[in-house]
C-alpha cells in the first residue's frame, strides 16, 4: 500500500489505517481476542502500518490487544493512542483530565499496555476546557524530548486551539470525524491544517457503517452500541439519509467498486495528507476497505459526486447534545 505523510516531521503511514476501537468498545460486545488479533495481523500483512487506539477504548483493553497483536512487528508499524479522561471504578468516563501529571501517568501506563518503549503518535482525545492547551502541548513536548513519545496530535480540536498548540509543539495530525456525510472540517479546519502542515486523520470515514449500505431504517443495534443514542441514527434520520447511500451505490456500480470503497477513495482524493482509519470486526470488510486505496476517482467523478451531494441534506446531529459540546473547542 502507498504511504502518506502526516505533518512535516517524518511521520509516514499507510494511506489507509485501521481504527481499532470497535474491536473492544462502542459497538456492542468486544470481539474475541483471537479473532481480533488475527484481524489486526491480517491488516499488517495487507500493508496497513497505522493503528489507532486509546486508553478510553475498553477502557485499557484495546491498548492491551494492540500491544499483544503488534508485538511481532512493532518496529514496522505506527501506533497512535490518546489521553484526556478520568475513569470511575466501573470503567466509565468520569470527566476530562488533561493535567500535565495525568498526561505523564497515561503515557507511562500506555507504554506498558502497548508493550513498547515509545508512543508514535500521542493525541489529546478531547480538548479539556480546564487546562490551557499550551500546558498540554508543553507536556507532550517534554515527553518527546524524553523519548517516550514521537509525535503530538489533537482530536476534535477547533482552529484556535490547533494554532495555540502548534506554536508550542508542532502538531503532526488532527483526528476528527470527516466523511461524505460529515463535511464540516472543510470550512475552517482543512485550510488551517494545510497552512500549518498538519496531517488529517478522519475517524468514522464510513459514517459509523451507514455509508456501506449495510444499515437501513429497520436495522437494530446491540444494547451497548453507541449508535442507539446518536441522533443521526434515529430511525427517521436513517430513512431520510438513505438518499445518500443510494447515490453512493450508483457511483460504486459505475466504478466496479463497493459503496465503502468509493467513500474511502473520495476522502483519499481530497488531500494527499489525509489518512482515513476505518474500523471493522470482519475480515472481509477489512479486505474491502484496504482495496479502496486502488480505486481511482477522476476529476469528472469527483465533480459528479459534488454536484449530486449538493442536492442532499443529511439529517440528524452526529452526537447527543452533551457529547457535541466536547468537539471543536
User: Looking at 117-217, which runs of residues are DSSP E strands?
Assistant: 119-124, 149-155, 171-177, 199-203
Q: Round to whole Å and give the CA distance between 150 and 180.
A: 31
Q: Residue 291 CB: number of other CB atoms within 10 A?
A: 18
For 127-170, the pLDDT digits (tens) are 999 999 999 999 999 999 999 999 999 999 999 999 999 999 99
In DSSP terms, 6 is beta-bridged to 11
* Per annotation, catalytic residue among 25, 27, 57, 178: 57
Mean pLDDT of the 225-234 span: 96
Task: Give the per-residue pLDDT at 78.
Answer: 98
The alpha carbon of residue 285 and the mean position of all alpha carbons in its chain are separated, in whole angstroms, by 17
User: Does residue 325 register a pLDDT over 90?
Assistant: no
DSSP-derived letter for residue 56 is T
Residue 304 gets the label, from left (phi > 0), alpha (psi -120 to 50) or beta, of alpha
Residues of the chain with pLDDT > 90, as a percent, come to 96
Total-model pTM: 0.97
Mean pLDDT of the 59-66 span: 98
Residue 188 CB-density burial (10 A; 0-12 exposed, 13-18 middle, 19+ buried)? middle
Q: Round to whole Å and give the CA distance between 80 and 151.
A: 9
Task: Give the per-residue pLDDT at 183.
Answer: 97
Average confidence score pLDDT of the chain? 97
Q: Round to whole Å and give the CA distance between 96 and 125.
A: 9
User: Does residue 119 register a pLDDT over 90?
Assistant: yes
Task: Give the per-residue pLDDT at 60.
Answer: 97
User: Does residue 77 register a pLDDT over 90?
Assistant: yes
25 is catalytic: no
For 186-224, the pLDDT digits (tens) are 999 999 999 999 999 999 999 999 999 999 999 999 999
The architecture CATH gives domain 3-208+270-295: Alpha-Beta Barrel (3.20)
User: Does residue 89 register a pLDDT over 90?
Assistant: no
Task: Give the per-residue pLDDT at 166.
Answer: 98
Half-sphere exposure of 107 (CA within 13 A, CB side): 29
Amino acid at each position: 500500500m502507498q504511504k502518506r505523510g502526516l505533518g512535516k516531521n517524518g511521520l509516514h503511514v499507510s494511506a489507509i489505517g485501521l481504527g481499532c476501537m470497535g474491536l473492544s468498545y462502542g459497538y456492542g460486545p468486544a470481539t474475541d481476542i483471537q479473532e481480533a488479533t488475527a484481524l489486526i495481523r491480517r491488516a499488517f500483512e495487507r500493508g496497513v502500518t497505522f493503528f489507532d487506539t486509546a486508553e478510553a477504548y475498553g477502557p485499557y483493553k484495546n491498548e492491551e490487544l494492540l500491544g499483544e497483536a503488534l508485538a511481532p512487528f512493532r518496529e514496522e508499524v505506527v501506533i497512535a493512542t490518546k489521553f484526556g479522561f478520568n475513569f470511575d471504578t466501573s470503567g466509565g468516563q468520569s470527566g476530562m483530565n488533561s493535567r500535565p501529571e495525568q498526561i505523564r501517568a497515561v503515557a507511562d501506563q500506555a507504554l506498558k499496555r502497548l508493550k513498547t518503549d515509545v508512543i508514535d503518535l500521542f493525541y489529546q482525545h478531547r480538548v479539556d476546557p480546564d487546562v490551557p492547551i499550551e500546558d498540554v502541548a508543553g507536556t507532550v513536548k517534554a515527553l518527546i524530548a524524553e523519548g517516550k513519545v514521537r509525535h503530538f496530535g489533537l482530536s476534535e480540536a477547533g482552529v484556535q486551539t490547533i494554532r495555540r498548540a502548534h506554536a508550542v509543539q508542532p502538531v503532526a495530525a488532527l483526528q476528527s470525524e470527516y466523511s461524505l456525510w460529515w463535511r464540516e472540517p472543510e470550512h475552517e479546519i482543512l485550510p488551517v491544517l494545510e497552512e500549518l502542515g498538519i496531517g488529517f486523520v478522519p475517524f468514522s470515514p464510513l459514517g459509523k457503517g451507514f455509508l456501506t449500505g449495510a444499515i437501513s431504517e429497520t436495522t437494530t443495534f446491540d444494547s451497548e452500541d453507541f449508535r442507539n443514542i446518536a441522533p443521526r441514527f434515529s430511525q427517521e434520520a436513517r430513512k431520510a439519509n438513505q438518499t445518500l447511500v443510494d447515490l453512493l451505490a450508483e457511483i460504486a456500480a459505475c466504478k466496479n467498486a463497493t459503496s465503502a470503497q468509493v467513500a474511502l477513495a473520495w476522502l483519499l482524493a481530497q488531500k494527499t495528507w489525509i489518512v482515513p482509519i476505518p474500523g471493522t470486526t470482519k475480515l472481509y470488510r477489512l479486505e474491502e476497505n484496504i482495496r479502496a486505496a486502488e480505486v481511482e476517482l477522476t476529476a469528472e467523478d469527483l465533480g459528479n459526486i459534488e454536484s449530486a451531494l449538493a442536492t442532499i441534506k443529511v439529517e440528524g446531529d452526529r452526537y447527543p447534545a452533551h457529547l457535541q459540546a466536547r468537539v471543536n473547542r
